[in-house]
Amino acid sequence: MHVCSLFARRVFNVDGVLCLPTGDVTKSRLWLRVKEDLRLEQMILQLQKLEDVLAVRRHGASHAVFERIGEYFRE
């Protein structure tokens, strides 16, 4: 989708991607795990410009979401 191609064309690596519909069937939530680099501010501004993106929220590195799902990805 547009979000992933925005990161791909700027070669901004995304370590983890999670996407599921929310309770409201017309909306999905997308979690991206990325390195906190100098370009992140600009990426967030560019994300906000995308037509499909309603809101962007930034969370700390220690957020549980990838930890918990991570269990299903262990080798």
Partner 1 sequence: MALVEFDEWPKNGVADNNFSLDMQSIQDAATIINEAKRPIVYVGGGAIHSEASESVQALIEKLNAPTVMTLMGLGALPSRHPLSLGMLGMHAAPFTNHALEECDALIALGARFDDRATGKVAQFCPDAKIVHVDIDASELNKIKNAKIGIVADLDDAIEALSPLIDSKEADEWNDRIEQLKGEYPMYMPDLVDPTSAYGIIDHVAGMLEGETYITTDVGQHQMRVAQAYPFEYPRQWLTSGGLGTMGFGLPAAIGAALEKPEATVVCFTGDGSILMNIQELITAVEENLNVKIFVCNNNSLGLVHQQQDLFYEKRIFAANYSRAVDFVKIAEGFQMDSFDLGTCVDPMSLIANALAKPGPALINVPIDVYHKVFPMVPPGGANKEMLLRDRVTARTMNQIKQ
Residue 46 lies near partner 1 (rule: CB under 8 A): yes
Interface with partner 1 includes 48 (CB under 8 A)? yes
From 36, 33, 31, 34, select the one nearest 56 (Cα to Cα): 31
Helices (H) and strands (E) in the chain, counts: 3, 2
* Nearer residue to partner 1 within complex by CB, 28 or 42: 42
Indicate the helix (H) or strand (E) that contains 30. strand 28-34
Residue 56 as a binder of partner 1 (CB under 8 A): the answer is no
Phi/psi of residue 9, nearest 5 degrees: -70, -20
Q: Could you tell me the smallest distance in angstroms from the CB atom of residue 43 to partner 1?
A: 9
# binding residues, partner 1 (CB under 8 A): 5
Q: Note the residues at the interface with partner 1 (CB under 8 A).
A: 42, 45-46, 48-49
